[in-house]
Amino acid sequence: MRSRAGGIRQLCLIVAVFVLAFAGSFALREAEYLQKTISLACVGQEITREQVESVRKRESDKENQSVFTAWTEKSAGYVCLADGERPVSTRVIEIDGSSELLIPYGKILREDDLQGCLLGRETAEKLFGSRNVAGLTVCYGDRELTVRGVIKEPGELLMVVAGADVDTFRRITLKPDASAVPGIAADRFIQNHGIFARQIRYDFLGADYLQSRLPGKWSDFAGWRKSLKEAGEDIRFLAAVEKSCLETRYLTCLLCASACIPAGALLILPIIFNNGKARWRLILLRQKKQKILHLLSKSSIIDK
């Protein structure tokens, strides 16, 4: 009975390990974009549309240009059906650039697509009662927009190319050159274009973050103090900055992956321990059996 209960317990542990590994790998894949792009939050003053166009022109003249999307989020905007019926309150993200840098999967909203939009899954269901709404029309303000695709997460979302009424943006999502270190590329981008912004760092355990923060020599104690101070400032800024629904979503995925993978690894330890214990018990039983057989063979020889 005890061995059966132990077997069930071990099976439950194995299932839990697989579930945590799957959840962790899925969350890590969802948050992978955080490692591939750079998020800049405007500090003090927002970046204007004229500045965005100026930066884009200067970048296009470079051999290794940085592709970026400027964007801003409204916590509450109203979208309705083409006939004005069924108004729905949802988060609205207005972009200047491609949506691919913000949502790297599914349909892409091109930077010149002023007649298109992307809807979150929940917003689509509230409007149409279905998620299969690509090609249908919605109204946002005085604009009629064709739905290009539906986003699974965030569920409550309308993403549109910024209209003429949008003058400033709060965020810049930047895709640097593949060979560039993200932290260094972000600082260079900010300095070259005179933008009042700061990078939102999510990659505290990543090799690129450590490379950008570690001093040149291990004996450079002043460099270590500076690096620790900068790391502390990065963490405080991440905690304090107002996060958009996209950033909250991907940050949640990153934290989920950081929790699930170590938890799965810890659950493997009892399985390994129990297997080792059972194997050791089997070895002792074999040794005991061999000893008994040896004693029996000796006694039979004596009797003869």
Domain of 59, in residue numbers: 33-251
Whether 11 is covered by a domain: the verdict is no
Percent of the chain with pLDDT over 90: 19
Mean pLDDT for the chain overall? 77
Instruction: Determine the residue type at 56.
Output: R
Query: Is it the case that residue 303 has pLDDT exceeding 60?
Result: no
Q: How confident is the model at residue 121 (pLDDT cuts 50, 70, 90)?
A: very high
**Residue 1: its pLDDT value, please?**
47
Q: How confident is the model at residue 70 (pLDDT cuts 50, 70, 90)?
A: very high
Choice among 19-33, 83-97, 140-154 with the minimum mean pLDDT: 19-33
Calculate mean pLDDT across residues 250-255: 71
Q: Indicate the pairing of strand 158-161 with strand 116-120.
A: antiparallel
**Residue 83: its pLDDT value, please?**
84
Dihedral (Cα; 51, 56, 57, 60), 10-degree rounding: 160
Q: How confident is the model at residue 125 (pLDDT cuts 50, 70, 90)?
A: very high
**Residue 233: its pLDDT value, please?**
79
Whether 287 is covered by a domain: the verdict is no
Whether 6 is covered by a domain: the verdict is no
Whether 274 is covered by a domain: the verdict is no
More confident residue, 41 or 202: 41
Calculate mean pLDDT across residues 35-55: 86
Whether 14 is covered by a domain: the verdict is no
**Residue 66: its pLDDT value, please?**
81
Looking at beta carbons, which pairs linking 290-297 to residues 24 or more positions away fall under 8 Å?
A: none
Query: Is it the case that residue 206 has pLDDT exceeding 70?
Result: no
Whether 185 is covered by a domain: the verdict is yes
Q: What pTM was computed for the model?
A: 0.70
Query: How many independent structural domains does the chain possess?
Result: 1
Whether 224 is covered by a domain: the verdict is yes
Whether 241 is covered by a domain: the verdict is yes
Q: How many helices and strands, by DSSP H and E, does the chain display?
A: 8, 11
